[in-house]
Amino acid sequence: MVASEQVLATGQQLDTLCINTIRTLAIDAVQQANSGHPGAPMGLAPVTYCLWQEFLRYDPSDPTWLNRDRFVLSNGHASMLLYSMLHLAEVRRVDKQGKVLKDLAMPMEEIKRFRQLGSLTPGHPESHITSGVETTTGPLGQGVGNSVGMAIASKWQAANFNRPNFEILDFNVYAMCSDGDLMEGIGGEAASLAGHLKLSNLCWIYDHNHITLDGPANWSFSEDVATRFIGYEWNVTRVADANDLTMLARAFETFHKTEDRPTLIIVDSHIGYGSPHKQDTNAAHGEPLGEEEVRLVKRFYGWPEDANFLVPEGVREHFRDGIGRRGRDLRARWSDLFAQYSQKFPDLAERLNQMQHHELPRGWDKNLPTFPADAKGIATRESSGKVLNAVAQNIPWLIGGSADLATSNKTTLKFEGAGDFQAETPAGRNLHFGVREHVMGASVNGLNVSGIRAFGATFFNFSDYMRASIRLSALMECPSIFIFTHDSIGVGEDGPTHQPIEQLASLRAMPNLIVLRPGDANEVTEAWKIIANLRSSPVALVLTRQNLPTLDRSKYAAASGVAKGAYVLADAGGKPDVILLGTGSEVSLCVDAYEKLKAEGVKARVVSMPSWEIFEKQDAAYQESVLPSEVTARVSVEMASTFGWARYTGLKGRNVGMHSFGASAPLKDLLKYFGFTVETVIKEARAAMSVK
């Protein structure tokens, strides 16, 4: 049976026709773009076809269905595999407001524009661009890390929302992964955590094709993956031939029957399947096959050799009768059940609706703490813990945890009923990630794209371990919350290995990431108000280990100025002679210097600047009111790299900061040694004022 015969195929012939359609769409898109990875889609097309057509609980006419199964393509370089499926399954497009449209999420013209500027088909899948893409993947290991968060989300939602005879939420998560996903350290962290939590709703499909980008996988990878995952307490099964639909179906059925652990399906596949010269070689991995090889492949498939982007008669209809009809029926039955659920449990139904639409519950900001003036003060990690507990009580779907540092980060949710998320207690709201920063970041992203508002916490220095996840959350416009404590050389005796220096500048350089470094306890409360309202930007909340004075707000400006990113905290009146800019623990240092300068007759101004990014979003008039351009005598004070501060202090300004790594010593000795003293700030202020 060949596609050119124009005879309607049936049974196995139709299965093969559909699978080869997936393959050839990928081949043609990569060839036309002259860029991409054709080999993986060619090998994995039967696996994806079997999963989507027979097992995936998914309605293409509503890709926002709350209880849909999630499909994650962790080996995101195989993006054309997913794009082909979105097209053939006729998944609908969703607008920015979450409304499902009649348009296709992946029309043929977008497949033809693969990897082109402004297309819906970027080289690696991006969830904020392409409807039907559950999460942005590409850097290997991130997708499987996301899948753990998604699986936790499903378990948590089921435990908190399901009621007897009303199984409203119980979706499964499927993640397709490669050798690279398992080589990257985050893959091991993700598998270890998933096994510990017994995430029986999680299935990884491992594309075991023996090839990496450089060459044979055995050049660098020879471990027994099955034994490794058995050690992680996973169920492991194997399909010896990726083209064997019967065995693939049996493997997915095994996953469905496994109720006490996650499942790994090892699938032996051929990268570049059907290519006479490139199958089972790295030449099929990261480059087009070439026109002549494409003709030979199509000849092997029984495909018209000159046809491009062909979808033969009967293929679309087959998908409509498969995943289309099955998904529509599943969602219709679920909708009927949910309608009954809404009548019987209206409060829970309303909560789910708010979660799905990223709305805040009424009264979410009630009883947020305010802090009295106190010269001794409180560490911002401490005040943040108090505010976090109040916010979490008001937002029932705010959950999270720490990389084995909750007692130090002060992120434990302690109110009655908070509980711990474990395999036996999936309703708990405290997550324990263990010493696994990499997968914590990726899991937090997976939780957030699943409707839950989630946070992860660690020491600021270890944000470096999470950088890829933070970056992807910013790229995919996901409002993940990253809490970082021990934010400076204030760590003291722990020394330079634990003292962050360049991290603030590094994160500020990241597009669409909000960095917040509050200067006292009341600024912390205001920071959490900003965080709660974020919809399409992640946040890094950067907090101190050491106590900070709680400023007297009857004497200085209200902390509500944090909402603008930067504000005039203290002012001597009239045109300032010098502006002192600070963040975090250095704000109070600026205030102390301001008071001494004021006593000496210097008209100083203190600007608290907890968020550069938010300040940059203010209009020019507001920015000018805070930092008048005619005042060029400016001093920034921050216990971190001074990189970037020149944009606010200018060529005539001065920058008090770190120009080296820190040191191991008591904090008071470090402050004096590195120049974070009132005397230094005043000296730099006078130097700035002397510049003409």
- Annotated catalytic residues are 437
Give me the residue label for tokens 């909560």: 351
Where residue 555 falls (left for φ over 0; alpha for ψ -120 to 50; beta otherwise) is: alpha
Give me the residue label for tokens 């504000």: 567
Distance CA 1, CA 87 (A): 24
Distance CA 323, CA 89 (A): 7
SS3 of 511, please?
A: coil
The total of other beta-carbon atoms located within 10 Å of residue 658's CB is 22
SS3 of 178, please?
A: coil
Distance CA 456, CA 442 (A): 10
Decide: 546 and 557 in contact? Cβ < 8 Å: no
Distance CA 437, CA 234 (A): 21
Return the DSSP state at 322.
I
Distance CA 340, CA 350 (A): 13
CB-based contacts of 182: which residues, under 8 Å, 6+ apart? Answer: 188, 191, 206, 225
Distance CA 87, CA 41 (A): 14
Distance CA 537, CA 444 (A): 14
Structure tokens at 290: 């070439």
Distance CA 597, CA 360 (A): 44
Return the DSSP state at 460.
G
Distance CA 392, CA 347 (A): 17
DSSP 374-386: EEEEEEHHHHHHH
Structure tokens at 147: 């899948």
Distance CA 84, CA 100 (A): 20
DSSP 392-455: HHHSTTEEEEESS-HHHHT----STT--B-BTTBTT-SEEE--S-HHHHHHHHHHHHTTT-EEE
Q: What angle do CA 49, 55, 61 make, to 5 degrees?
A: 80
| Helical H segments across 489-582, by residue range | 503-508, 521-533
Could you give the count of Cα atoms lying within 13 Å of 222 in the half-sphere of its Cβ? 3
The total of other beta-carbon atoms located within 10 Å of residue 508's CB is 18
Q: What angle do CA 506, 509, 513 make, to 5 degrees?
A: 100
Give me the residue label for tokens 């760590």: 491
Decide: 59 and 293 in contact? Cβ < 8 Å: no
Decide: 477 and 512 in contact? Cβ < 8 Å: yes
The total of other beta-carbon atoms located within 10 Å of residue 427's CB is 16
Distance from the Cα of residue 91 to its chain's centroid: 23
Decide: 201 and 171 in contact? Cβ < 8 Å: yes
SS3 of 208, please?
A: strand
